[in-house]
Structures are given as C-alpha cells and as structure tokens.
Structure 1
Amino acid sequence: MVASHKLLVKIKETLTNLSVFHLQILFDFYSKTTRLLSFSLTPIFIGISLLLTTYVNRAIALSSEVIHVAETTNVINGTAPYLSFDGGKTKILGVDDIFWMSYQVGNQTFRYTLDNNTSSQQNPILLPESIKTFADINSIIPKNYPIPEWAEDNGQQIEFNSRYDRQYFFDDDGDEILSGAGMVSLKIFDEADDYGSDDLAEWGERSYKRSDLIDPCRYSYRMVLLSSISSVLSKFGVPSRRSFGATVTEDEWNDDPWAFEDRLVLHIKPAVSNPYACWAYPLTQPTPHSEHIGNEWVASDLYRESGAKKGYQLQNINSPSANFPTTAGDSFPFNLTVAGSFPHELSYSKQPKDSIINLTIRKAEEFRYYGNYPNEATITLLGPKAGQPNTSFSPTTFIIYADQAQTKPIYSFTINKWFILLEDGKRTFKESREYCESIGYRLPTVPELTNVKNVELNWHQGYPTGKEGFSKVQLGGGIIPEWGSDVFRLDRHIYRKFWSNNRHKNDNYYLVDAYGLIFSEPITEQIGYALCISP
C-alpha cells in the first residue's frame, strides 16, 4: 500500500511537468491499454486514471483561456472609452453630457443645454425663490468638488491627463486607455461690471462659490461652464476613440488647449415676490471700502469679496431718522439698489407736503468702484442753494415705494439739516459768518462737519483718522463722514477748507477740510469757504 502511494506521488510529479500535447498522448495510450487488458482495474490503476483525467482537463481549460486572452487583446468589439467625474456614475459620452445645467422645482426638472439656452443679460432665466444658492443648480462638475488653491475667481476646475489622472477615464470593456487630456471649469460672476456689453468672458470682478447665496440685490449672474477636451483613445477597442466635439489628439490639445474650448453661459436672475431696498450708496463717497463707525455702513474688499453689500443698510423703515441720509444739500446724489424693482417703477412721498426739499429718481449710470445694476436708481436731493431768494428749510421725511401706486414702501429717511455752500471764493471767518446769517443760516460746528479728533490742536471729540488718512464713514457723524470727501468738491483737484463756529484759541478758529481733517487759522485769513447750515 505504501509502495502504491509512493508510485502515485511520483506519477503526479511527472504529470505536472508534461505539456498538454504529451498529456493527451499519454491519456490516449493509457485508455487503450486498459481496454485491451482483461484483468479488473486495481486501486493503483484507478488512481493513475484519475490523475491523468484531472491534469488533461485542467491543461485543456488553461489552454483555452490563454487562447481567449490572446484573441481579446487584439480586438475588443464593445463600447468606446468615456469620462466620468463621479467615479463612473455619470458617463460623459459627448458634448451634450458636458454642456448642461439644471435645477429642480418639485418633480419638474429645468435643463439648459447648448441647444435650448436662450438666456442673455437682457433676458436672464428667472429662477424661482426656492432656488437659494448656486449649489441648487446642477452641472457636470459635482457641487462639492474642491476649488483649486490657486484659483482667484472661486471657480471649480477639473484638469485631467490619462498619464496621471486615471480616475477620470473609463472603459466598460476593460480596455487600456492610451491618451486623453482636458479640463472643465465652472465659474460664477455677477453682471454689474459689464451689464449691457457683449463681453461674456469667463472672468469678472465679483466671483462666487457654489455654496454662496443667490442675492437678488445683484440683479443677475452668469454661470460659465467652460470645457476643452481632446479625444480619448483606448488601445484595442472597436470603437477605440471618444471625441468631445472636434477630433483632437492629446498632442494637438497640449499644444494649444484654448483653441478647442467651448462654453455654456447661463444668465440667471432670482425672482422676488416682495421688493426691498438693498443698500444706499452716496456717490460723493469715493471709497466704498472705507473704514466706518457703527453698523449702518457695510463695506468690503471691493474686488474680491463675493456678494458684498456696499453702502448704508436700511435700519428701520418705520423710523426714517435712523436711515441714511440725515443731512444733505442741493444736488446731493446717492444710489439706491432695490431687489425686485426697477428705477422707472419707483415713486416717493414726503412730509410735510409743502416742503421745498424734493428729489428726483432716475436710472443709475455706471459709477466708479460700484458697478452698474439695472435695479439701481440714482436719487438726487434738491433744495435751497446759494443765490436763491428762498432758502427756508424744515425737516422733511421721504418714503420711497417700489411701485407708482405707492403701496409697497421700501425705504425712508428724514433730512434734519440742510447745507448751503457759497462757492465763489475763499473768505475770512467774519465774512463767512455774515453770509450765513444773511440767508437765515449759521456756521456749522466741528461735529456737524466731521467726526475726527485732533489732539495737537486740542480738539478731543471724535475718532482718530482711518488708515486712508481721513475721516471714517459714520451716519450722523457730520456731513463729510456721512456723505464722503467729494460732497463739496467741484472736481477732484480742488482742495477746500470750511470755517466752523468753534474757537480754538485767541483769534484762531477751527476749519475742516474735504477729508474731515481739522485745522486752525486766524479769523483774518481768507482761507476758508462759507459753508452754512440750517438753524
């Protein structure tokens, strides 16, 4: 029995080293021999038979598998390779699978492509109020795809190359990807800076993330889906090429990727059922990022902060004295941005009705630093000025409405003080005071002009100057901090000082310049302008 076992082990070792051809010959010979022999099969012969059968079958199966692999590495009849940015869940098979954006309202999906997108700056897609953020708008780029660290415009961008980024390339037949490269990006901008132009470039001063709120105060936005992709080529497949537009090799694409770009630009505008005032910005304030005192003014990094509101915010529509402006003069302008209404739809009322203080409302023109919004109105205050016979003033309250029927109040303010500037030259302190008294006004105090302190000149009220070197923005902080340094300037090159009614020492009185800075000069010097304030 032991000898038989050793014999079978030896036979097994021998069979392992035989080729399929020799195994088949041995198996045929053994089968014929056992049929010719008249003796019954002993256990040893049964063992040999089983070993031969097992090894021959295994060898034949292995041979068949090798032959099959050799055939499929030559030609794979199946499907072309493709791209995917979500691990293969969403297949990118062509241009139509790249250039689309969509959003959902209930069970209804609104999908926009190169074929059906008719949106423009003048005719944006009106988004329902249920769409709150840009992440509510879908695209081929996943919502949570990270923004590259080097991106300055908050744009999502996917760059890929078959040599390094295998995770974006797929082939359902298991074929090897030989070449393919490209990029797809999604960038979002508001359209304030180029509204009305034909420039749909993939850049802008104010950019947004997918997670940002869609602010109706910005009126409209553009979402730019940009793509440039070479053909994707597999090694053996039939078909072996997938093109996304023009048939472009990876080498051609690498030479000039921008030559093959295409884009889908979606212009969108959020719907507003109840109009409201966004912010008020004095056009005499040259620096919208100015430092400020109090919570009424909201400023930001002008060029990069997404969706930043710039200007005075409405504090309380039922308390007009808490809102900008509180003081004014003839032809003082400010822009009022309104969500859900246009300038030609606005109207106003005033109290008392017989006040000679009035205002005009017109469509805003483009203003430096501020952009140009179709929903932005320029409001200009009108009233007494130098040379007019009637300079009487009484505090006047205005209410701005979003409609001509005056049923939708959106903003209110009260003018408590009125300024008149005599612009025909510099005067002494006495000459300035006499002029103001002649029209029933008076010289203003330093706090009515500025909120800056000057310890060296023994003026301790107010605040230090800002980093820019002049007064900080402040509602109710004086005419210059409230309205800005351009409020009494004929142009940007005329430097003015205004006499105040506050005495410094001896025959010196304080003056305040256009930047809100404080000076002291003898009353006999013809150095200041006559700026008068209502009593």
Structure 2
Amino acid sequence: MPYSWNLEALTSKNGRANNHRSDAIILPSSENPCLKYDTGGDASSADIWIWNPDYFDPSAPLVCYAQPNLSNDSSNNTVYQDLDGPDWAKGKGFVPQDVNNPQRNFPSTGTNNVYFYLLLANITPEAIILANGASVSPELGSGISLVLSSARTPGWGKGSQDVALKIVLKGPTNSSANKNFRPSTFKLYLDKAKTKLLYSFKIERWYIAQGVGINVSASETKDYCNQIGYRMPSVADYTNANYNDIWNGGIPGRNINGYRRQLSYRGSNGKWIGGLFNEWGTLFNNPDHYLGLDDWETSHPQDWYWVIDTYKGEPIRVDLGDGDLYDSKATNGQYRAACVKP
C-alpha cells in the first residue's frame, strides 16, 4: 500500500474532511498526490513538484517518487506483461510507502555506484543537502553510505528530465580490501536538527559483481563468493519472476518469466521474493542505464548471472536486463558471477 503521512487533519479544497494521520491516509499509486508543474517553457526553468491540494497542504515538503532506471516498465517496454507493481507508477518510479517505516520504501537492495532520484515537492535538492550534508552515513548498520547531489533525471526511455535529488550508493566492490556490510537504515531530514523526517529506506542486501567479461562456471561462482565472505545468490536475490516448473519462488500466482517492478519483500515462509533486478531495472553499466556501475556487464547477451538454484541438476542463470531465467542444459556455457550479503 502506498505512502502514509504523519500530518494533522485538514480540509480539502472541495470541502472533504481529511484525517491526514499516518494511520488514516493510504492512497493507491494511481492517486499519488503529486502533480507536475513546470515554472516555464524554456530549458533554464526549474521543474517542481507540488501536492494535489484536494488531499494535502500544498506547501508541505514531500517525496513524490523514488526513481531508478525506467527502461523496463510499461511506459517503455511492450514485450513483457505485468511490469508495473502496486508500488510503481509507470514512467515515474516507486511511490513512497511510509516515511516512518524504512523497510517499506525503495530501495532495499544495492551495489556500488548505483543511483536513483527523489522527485520532490515544495523543497529543493539543495535544501536537503544543506540539512543532511553531501555524504550520509546509515543510522543503523555499516559498510555503505550515500552521496547526495542536485541533478536532472536522465529521462530514461520516454521519461522527462526533472530536477531531483540524486542519491548514489557507495559500498564494497570486488576490489575493496574491506567488503564488510551490515543491513543499513538511511534517513533524510528536512532540518539539520534531524527532527523532521523526509524519507527513509533500508538496504537489506548488498551485491558485489566479479567483473566485466569474466567467464566462470556455476561452481566457480560459488567458490568466488565464499572467498570474499559473501554467498552465491538465489534466483530470488535477483528477480521476482516465475518460470513454469523451473522456478516458482517469485510473486505467487504470476507465471511470467520476467520481473515486475516492485519492492522486494519476504513471503509467508520468510524467504525473499525479489531482489536487485526487479528493484533497479536494467543494471547495464552504460549511459542509457547506470553509467559507472562497478563490475556489472554493459549489454545483452553477456549479462547472464549464475545462481545457486538448479533445475533437474542443471544450474540456473538470470538475466541482468529483464530478470528472466533459464536452466543451462541447452548451452552449458560460462556466464558471470556476482555475490550477495547477507
């Protein structure tokens, strides 16, 4: 369920009484209160985001969307079905769920130099940087940090280029001497005193890729992950897809061999449903996706990554671009290695 706000009761412009407490307002993504308003037609004009006054005080600061790469959602991709999850607004990104519950907001997974954008209402990126600093450490956890800057979104696919707060995740890589990571909670505030919370999220899993162009077997992948103190990922650490009888640990009842853009979550058995690829989209290290992404492949078909799961004794591989999966009996090829912690 989408964003809940911690506000006093207000009356909307149309006279409706709105109990804007965190336990009272939950809007579906189709009713996200943010509307886009352009201050002018020329390129120098800043885009701003405002709240829908039918629901909220139009002057209050807000995160409208948390936007990773948009190349794989229904606004850009017509090949795959059911691309947009319940917390995803097509062409915009993730709809924040609950500012007071970091585990309900994007992202929950990360890797070094991956980045996303917060599209803001009634506050500038510069004001957030002034309040929090350009580098942010976790309030809980260790091993990773954030770098903040003001930037325009890349306009992935058919998206627009909007002024936003750019957030880059920094943490261990294949070449790091210290690869330690503990699940980390981040909070961004509106004020230096840290009394007014704007956004929060928790990185539950951290990923390290071995490198570009390195062909390895599934068993070599497991050895590499053990060597660096991480584990070999499962299908569910990458994607929330299902594929016939090869894998059914994805979103229940959804037999589609490709991910849905949705925040990862734990199922009733406590196991993860979804991971890095369904949250971040196509993770290619190139200008159209995530330029500067350490050690991840740059294009298809070099983008298959081994997982620890097997089908009829054959190892399974997952695609970095779309999160689809196959067993490797037909190819017996060598693919790429990445690892995850915890």
Does TM, scored on the shorter chain, surpass 0.5? yes
Q: Deviations over 1:144-180 (max 9, x none)?
A: xxxxxxxxxxxxxxxxxxxxxxxxxxxxxxxxxxxxx
Q: Is the 8 A contact 2:51 2:59 kept in 1?
A: no
2:164 pairs with 1:367: no
Give unpaired runs (5+ residues) of structure 2. 1-10, 15-35, 265-273, 286-295
How far apart are 1:452 and its partner, in Å?
1.3
Q: Are the equivalent residues in 1 in contact too, given 2:297–2:303 (CA < 8 A)?
A: no
Give the alignment's TM-score, normalised by structure 1: 0.46
User: Does 1:534 pair with 2:341?
Assistant: yes
Structure 2: distance between partners of 1:500 and 1:351: 29
Question: Is the aligned partner of 1:378 residue 2:166?
Answer: yes
Q: Which amino acid aligns with 2:327?
A: S
**Alpha-carbon deviations, 1:51-97, whole Å to 9, x = none?**
xxxxxxxxxxxxxxxxxxxxxxxxxxxxxxxxxxxxxxxxxxxxxxx
Percent identity reads 29
C-alpha contact 1:427 1:525 (8 A) present in aligned 2: no
The aligned runs of 1:133-282 (5 Å cut-off) are 190-191=37-38, 196-197=43-44, 216=50, 272-282=58-68
| Counterpart position of 2:289 | none
Partner of 1:426: 215
Report the Cα distance in structure 2 between the residues aligned to 1:353 and 1:450, rounded to whole angstroms.
26
The CA deviation at 1:470 is 3.2
Helix, strand or coil at the partner of 1:480: helix
2:109 aligns with: 327
Q: Where do 1:466-481 residues align within 5 Å?
A: 470-476=258-264, 477-481=274-278
Who is 1:312 aligned against?
A: 94
> 1:60 aligns to what?
none
Q: Determine the C-alpha separation between the residues in 2 that align with 1:193 and 1:521.
A: 54
Distance in 2 (CA, whole Å) between partners of 1:193 and 1:429 is 54
Structure whose alpha-carbon radius of gyration is higher: 1
Q: Specify the SS of the correspondent of 2:200.
A: strand
List per-residue Cα deviations over 1:231-289 (Å, max 9, x = no partner). Answer: xxxxxxxxxxxxxxxxxxxxxxxxxxxxxxxxxxxxxxxx9532111110113654463
Residue aligned with 1:412, SS = strand
Q: Decide whether the 8 Å contact of 2:63 with 2:120 is kept in 1.
A: yes
Q: Provide closer, same or farther for how the CA distance between residues 296 and 333 of structure 1 changes in structure 2, counting only shifts above 3 A.
A: same
Question: Is the Cα–Cα contact under 8 Å of residues 430 and 523 in structure 1 kept in the other structure?
Answer: no
Match of 2:33 in 1: none
Cα root mean square deviation, aligned: 3.4
Structure 1 residues 217 and 272, CA, compared in 2 at 3 Å: closer, same or farther? closer
Q: Give 1:474 shift.
A: 1.5
> Is the contact between residue 429 and residue 524 of structure 1 (CA under 8 Å) also seen in structure 2?
no
CA contact (8 A) 1:282 1:333 kept: yes
Offset, 1:295: 2.5
Aligned partner (choices 335, 342, 348) of residue 124 of structure 2: 342
Cα pair distance change 1:286/1:452, threshold 3 Å: closer
1:197 and 1:350, CA in 2 relative to 1: closer, same or farther beyond 3 A?
closer
CA contact (8 A) 1:499 1:511 kept: yes
| Counterparts in 2 of 1:322 and 1:410: CA distance versus 1, 3 Å | same
8 A contact 1:283–1:335 mirrored in 2: no
What CA distance in whole angstroms lies between the structure 1 residues aligned with 2:119 and 2:340?
Answer: 29
Aligned to 1:416: 204
Amino acid at match of 1:323: N
Structure 1 unaligned regions, length at least 5: 1-129, 134-188, 199-213, 219-270, 303-309
TM-score, normalised with respect to structure 2: 0.69
